[in-house]
Amino acid sequence: MLSFPTQLAAATNNAYARVFSYCLGDRDARAESPTSSYLVFGRATDPPGAAFTPMRTSARKPSQYVVDMVGFSVDGAPVVLTGADDLALDPATGRGGVVVDSGATVSRFALHTYAALRDAFDARATAAGMRNVRENISVYDACYDLPTTTTARVPAVALHFAGGADVLLPRRNYLVPVESRGRTYYCFGFMGFEPNSADERSTLGNVQQQGFHIVFDEERERIGFAPNGC
């Protein structure tokens, strides 16, 4: 009964079917031409192009919306991950899995997982002629000096979820403009954390979610991602 959709369903004789969806507009949209965001309660036809993955339940954090990821790819090549499988929920311990969280800004993954993704992106970016400035800018440790992202050859990044749900991110969802020393740099918009706590869990933040119509379907126990949703 913690979530608003569950309470709404109980108060309305399940008229809203424990389903809600939203789309987060472009955070960099100009004031005179903003991209609209929205939040909708109730079941509707699945949005075009939606890819669904099972919604997992964590006994440790039952109020969170958790999914399993199976990996990443850069320019279509799978990223080789090493170490523990932290992207999938372990039902015995309640650890692992990825929280879909609109309140978090940047997606965070265990450090070894993040480093593998970052290094795979950087290798492709360097081969494409993107210049890594080789210093931390703000909270990011992989930033590039580009005249503009529209003319640069930027490697494609995709997220792969359980159940065959593949989400290809627009470049604005993973190249974040950051001002430093009077210039704009473009930083790889993910972060890593040291997995030293049972409460730490990978998170899919709102930077990566922007522009997608995201469906939270508690009745069918699934979460869907549809591109070009706003």
CATH number of the domain bearing residue 92 = 2.40.70.10
In this structure, is residue 7 part of a structural domain? no
Long-range contacts of 151-155 (CB under 8 A, 24+ apart): 152/128, 153/128, 153/129, 154/125, 154/128, 154/130, 155/74, 155/75, 155/121, 155/124, 155/125, 155/128
Residues 225 and 229: their CA atoms lie apart, in Å, by 9
Q: Return mean pLDDT, the chain.
A: 87
Using one digit for the tens of pLDDT, what is the confidence trace for 42-57? 888 899 999 999 999 8
In this structure, is residue 124 part of a structural domain? yes
In this structure, is residue 14 part of a structural domain? no
Q: Which residue has the tokens 């309660």?
A: 41
Residue 113: which H helix or E strand, with range? helix 111-127
User: Which pLDDT does position 1 carry in this prediction?
Assistant: 41
Using one digit for the tens of pLDDT, what is the confidence trace for 153-188? 899 999 999 999 999 999 999 999 999 988 999 999
Q: How far is CA 103 from each of CA 29, 155, 165, 172, rounded to the nearest angstrom?
A: 19, 27, 23, 18
Residue 206 has pLDDT above 80, yes or no: yes
In this structure, is residue 11 part of a structural domain? no
User: Which pLDDT does position 199 carry in this prediction?
Assistant: 66
Q: What is the total count of domains within the chain?
A: 1
List beta partners, residue 187. 143, 176
Structural domain of 190: 49-226
In this structure, is residue 220 part of a structural domain? yes
Strand 222-226 relative to strand 213-217, pairing: antiparallel
Residue 166: which H helix or E strand, with range? strand 165-169
The answer to whether the pTM exceeds 0.75 is yes
In this structure, is residue 63 part of a structural domain? yes
